[in-house]
Amino acid sequence: HYRQLLHGGEQLCVEDLSLADLAERYATPTYVYSESYLRQRFHAFTHALGPQTTLCYAVKANANLSILNRLARWGAGFDIVSGGELARVLRAGGDPTRVVFSGVGKSRDEIRRALEAEIYCLNVESPAELARIEQVAAELGCRAPIAMRVNPDVEASTHPYIATGLRETKFGIPMAEAPLLYERAARSRHLEVLGVACHIGSQLLDLAPIAEAARRVVQLYEALGRQGIHLQHLDLGGGVGIRYHDEQAPTPADYAAILDAALGDLPVRRVVELGRALVGNAGALLTRVEYRKYNGNRAFCVVDAAMNDLLRPSLYGAWHEIWPLERRAAAQAPMDVVGPVCESGDFFAKARPLPADLREGEVLAILGAGAYGFAMSSQYNSRPRAAEILVHGTDARVIRRRETLGELWAAEEPCA
């Protein structure tokens, strides 16, 4: 699959452009994305899932306006988790009537803006939030479209920081409490009950827990039907995992089959909130080797990207492939690939076999960086954020220029 994004014999390319040329032209660290790969993934999922499914791209994975704009043009809906993400979607030309709003802490202001934009649905995560949404809708004199995000209490085997479907996490409404809450909502003049939502975790390689969660959601749907509450959609969240290393990742067809098996021919619209599965392997982070060094017999490769650019290895111990742009047959030696940030946790790989003759000034591509890469970046250590480039065929566009030093303190005053 990396071959689709990166190919070439001696020279690594993204689509029709050489990564070495891109690094030269735009400097490093720089994120590079393949538009064709993104498009292909989007269409593979929409095709497999069929016309009864709305694919709402999870904006948090990569919120760049040009990425959102491409997805909007191809017909995606959007899953947002903040007023900022709503603003981005609207700015990028996204259709608000295909937006679902998730998240446990929606503020009054965010709720108001979502209702004013007339988004499709708010996914409610607690009784307190339901009450607040009802109140804001009353103030605006409208009816808020809602779904309850339930917590199906199924265990998804993934990193604990990104598992969200267990009772003890902060997410969702306990299954057992949902029917009463639906009763309440159905009686409100300011709420319009549309559906039910769940999301059990991210980077799921085994889809069985998604199937189990979907079955529980279907049971709830049927129980509500017997109470006279008829839902028009089931939102199964996101979470489909991708290959970073040697994992066997589910295909769009696998995912569609799981949903078909769980939902059968229920007369409902299906919504999914995929992020990583669309953009994850569409992106690489280019970084240049600053130094080689040895502490005792431990070899280090110090690069110009750091945990502030790509946090996943530091935060989750995540594996990302690291490829030198100049391929050679040289002997490999294990080395730690680390950034310049002043934390021991600032690393991209530990004891990773890389060409022993790796030189200062060479460029490396860190793969699988399209999702939760730039999106989780910061200016920690006063490092301006990286540039982002979108490649399509022979065309490369700067979709976010590198930040300037002035932008580091643009919102500050040196008060005496």
Q: Which of 5, 59, 61, 389 binds ligand LLP (CB under 6 A)?
A: 61
Task: Please give the Cα distance from 245 to 224 (Å, whole number).
Answer: 43
Active site residues: 342
Q: Which of 30, 188, 202, 308 binds ligand LLP (CB under 6 A)?
A: 202
Tokens 């409208």 correspond to what residue? 142
Tokens standing for residue 81: 């988790």
314 near ligand LLP, judged by CB under 6 A? no
Among 25-33, 248-256, 267-275, 359-367, the segment contacting ligand LLP (CB under 6 A): 267-275
Q: Of residues 138-197, which lie at the interface with ligand LLP (CB under 6 A)?
A: 162, 164
Q: How far is the CB of 34 from ligand LLP (least distance, A)?
A: 18
Residue 343 annotated as binding? yes
Nearer of residues 29 and 313 to ligand LLP, judged by Cβ: 313
Q: How many helices (H) and strands (E) does the chain have?
A: 13, 21
34 near ligand LLP, judged by CB under 6 A? no
Nearer of residues 13 and 81 to ligand LLP, judged by Cβ: 81
**Cα 91 from chain centroid?**
19
288 forms bridges with which residues in the sheet? 363
305 near ligand LLP, judged by CB under 6 A? no
Q: Which of 77, 83, 94, 239 binds ligand LLP (CB under 6 A)?
A: 239
Among 19-27, 69-77, 112-120, 271-279, the segment contacting ligand LLP (CB under 6 A): 271-279
Sequence-separated contacts (24+) of 64-68 with Cβ below 8 Å: 64/374, 64/388, 64/399, 64/400, 65/91, 65/92, 65/399, 66/92, 66/390, 66/397, 66/399, 67/33, 67/38, 67/279, 67/390, 67/399, 68/92, 68/93, 68/94
Residue 83 annotated as binding? no
Nearest to 89 by CA among 99, 104, 75, 102: 99
Q: How far is the CB of 173 from ligand LLP (least distance, A)?
A: 13
Task: Please give the Cα distance from 135 to 129 (Å, whole number).
Answer: 10
Q: Which of 94, 165, 238, 283 binds ligand LLP (CB under 6 A)?
A: 238
276 near ligand LLP, judged by CB under 6 A? yes
| CA distances (Å), origin 205, targets 58, 158, 162, 243, 247 | 18, 8, 13, 9, 8
- Whether 82 and 113 have beta carbons less than 8 Å apart is answered as no
Among 70-78, 184-192, 243-251, 270-278, the segment contacting ligand LLP (CB under 6 A): 270-278
Q: Which of 199, 270, 288, 320 binds ligand LLP (CB under 6 A)?
A: 199
Q: How far is the CB of 286 from ligand LLP (least distance, A)?
A: 19
Nearer of residues 15 and 235 to ligand LLP, judged by Cβ: 235
Task: Please give the Cα distance from 120 to 112 (Å, whole number).
Answer: 14
Sign of CA dihedral 29, 34, 37, 43: positive
Q: Which of 275, 283, 313, 370 binds ligand LLP (CB under 6 A)?
A: 275
Reading phi first (left if > 0) and then psi (alpha if -120 to 50, else beta), residue 81 is in alpha
Nearer of residues 165 and 324 to ligand LLP, judged by Cβ: 165
Residue 276 annotated as binding? yes
Task: Please give the Cα distance from 111 to 146 (Å, whole number).
Answer: 11
Quickly count: other Cβ atoms within 10 Å of residue 268's Cβ: 17
Q: How far is the CB of 305 from ligand LLP (least distance, A)?
A: 16
Q: How far is the CB of 161 from ligand LLP (least distance, A)?
A: 7
348 near ligand LLP, judged by CB under 6 A? no
Q: Which of 98, 190, 270, 312 binds ligand LLP (CB under 6 A)?
A: 312
| CA distances (Å), origin 367, targets 31, 128, 353 | 10, 42, 15
Q: Which residues in this chain contact ligand LLP in the complex, by CB under 6 A?
A: 58, 61, 79, 102, 162, 164, 199, 202-203, 237-240, 273-277, 312, 316, 371-372, 376
Binding site per annotation, positions: 239, 273-276, 312, 316, 343, 372
